[in-house]
Amino acid sequence: MATSAAVKLSFKELERQVEALPQAAKIRLVQKLEQETWGARINRLLARIDARVKRRPLPEEQITALVEQVRHELYAQVPPIGKS
């Protein structure tokens, strides 16, 4: 029967252990950490965006003007139907 013993490592010791891993194992570790922390990272990103929007809100008229400008620029790039 296999037993697991909890091993306490300092962060420095953990860094040394990771540095000693082969590159393929490091890649697997990064992928696992990315999966486990995805929710927290996206929440932090959304909080940063929300804070920025609250610091510098855009009036509805300015948003509409920007949308119209981009739409106009995009339509100008599309050739008329029937002409290539």
Tens of pLDDT, residues 21-31: 999 999 999 99
Q: Is the pLDDT of residue 80 over 60?
A: yes
Q: Please check whether residue 84 lies inside any domain of the structure.
A: no
Q: Please check whether residue 7 lies inside any domain of the structure.
A: no
Give how many domains the chain has, as a whole number.
1
Q: Which two tokens stand for residue 60?
A: 């509805």
Q: Please check whether residue 5 lies inside any domain of the structure.
A: no
Q: Mapping DSSP to helix (H, G, I), strand (E, B) and coil, where does residue 68 land?
A: helix
Query: 58 is in which domain, residue-wise?
Result: 13-76
Q: Please check whether residue 38 lies inside any domain of the structure.
A: yes
Q: Please check whether residue 2 lies inside any domain of the structure.
A: no
Q: Please check whether residue 6 lies inside any domain of the structure.
A: no
Q: Please check whether residue 30 lies inside any domain of the structure.
A: yes
Q: Please check whether residue 22 lies inside any domain of the structure.
A: yes
- Give the Cα separation of 84 and 82 in Å (integer): 7
pTM: 0.50
